[in-house]
Structure 1
Amino acid sequence: MRCPFCGSEDSQVKDSRPSDENAAIRRRRVCADCGGRFTTFERVQLRELTVLKRSGRKVLFDREKLSRSISVALRKRPIEPERIDRLVSGLVRQLESSGETEITSADIGELVMIALRELDPVAYVRFASVYRDFRDTADFHAVLRELADETRDPLDTGNRFGGDRDGLFEPKKL
């Protein structure tokens, strides 16, 4: 493993342990040349995935990019980092086990939207606003209505924010 500090290819493993619920191995390493210490992770990769972008360009799938985009949507939300890692691992497993080696960015985006919708509605709206390229507040209203309709009690005559669709942001009076 190449040292990130000096570039030497001579490093030694000092400690190994399972991480991510035994889905990866965490290794602490030390460089024999400069003495720098660093951590590496080993993960099982079922197949190498290629992402087909909307522009037609093909790029290698990047787990870290997926993790970053989900983390941005979940920023300042009460979700533990371990739960985010499990979500990302689950999505990657789902993509790898699909049998396809080429996956469209739209398919990945839809999978993330489904996962975020179940995990945290605020993160779902944040991600949707970027993924679906919201242009104005009407786009936000549509997604919020959709979420409100899903969570509304069928016996309730109004939505959870107010008594009618026009009062979407008016809280119910208790």
Structure 2
Amino acid sequence: NSIRRRRECINCGRRFTTYEIIEEVPLMVMKKNGRRELFDRGKLLNGLLRSCDKRTVPMSVMEQVVNDVERDIRNEINQEVTTDRIGELVLQQLKDIDQVAYVRFASVYRKFDNIDSFMEELKALKKLDAKKPKRS
């Protein structure tokens, strides 16, 4: 991811090569306990891998989710993002990709305290699914 340029010194006429790279501002994640750490694509992909375990979601789709989430975060003005925001972005995409993976990810991310809150999430997902046009 660099641009190679051939240049010439205006004083001595000697030619040389330079390489330009984009310097990205580090993206910081604000954890629930108040700590900050660098955004780690690997952690996000591992969470998706666990959620999609034994499902038919291709690796390329999971990688695209990670790319989309990182792009969305970087497009926001603030270079600091909460784990809640990351989780919501992932859930938005998983909802359309695989509902079982969505529920698995939500169960870890949302930390349901009881079966009732878990059931509410399932009902909301089912209601959303009923609104989708059925493919024939």
TM range (shorter): 0.7 to 0.9
TM-score w.r.t. length of structure 2: 0.75
Q: Which runs of 5 or more structure 2 residues have no equivalent in the other structure?
A: 2-21
2:125 aligned with 1:147, yes or no? yes
2:82 aligned to which of 104, 111, 127: 104
CA deviation after TM superposition for structure 1 residue 66, in Å: 0.7
State the one-letter code of the partner of 1:83.
V
2:93 aligned with 1:125, yes or no? no
Give the structure, 1 or 2, with the largest relative contact order (CA under 8 Å, sep 6 or more): 2
Q: Give the aligned length.
A: 113
**Runs of at least 4 residues of structure 1 off by over 3 A?**
none
Given the superposition, is the C-alpha separation of residues 103 and 93 from structure 1 closer, same or farther in structure 2, using an over 3 Å criterion? same
Give aligned-pair identity as a percent. 35
2:49 aligned with 1:71, yes or no? yes
The structure in which a higher percent of residues are helix is 2
Given the superposition, is the C-alpha separation of residues 59 and 153 from structure 1 closer, same or farther in structure 2, using an over 3 Å criterion? closer
Q: Which runs of 5 or more structure 1 residues have no equivalent in the other structure?
A: 1-23, 25-43, 155-174
How far, CA to CA, are the matches of 1:85 and 1:132 in structure 2?
22
How far, CA to CA, are the matches of 1:55 and 1:116 in structure 2?
26
TM-score w.r.t. length of structure 1: 0.59
Instruction: Show the 5 A alignment for 1:31-70.
Output: 46-70=24-48
What RMSD, in angstroms, separates the aligned Cα atoms of the two structures?
2.1
Q: 8 Å contact 1:46–1:97 — kept in the other structure?
A: no
How far, CA to CA, are the matches of 2:23 and 2:49 in structure 1?
22
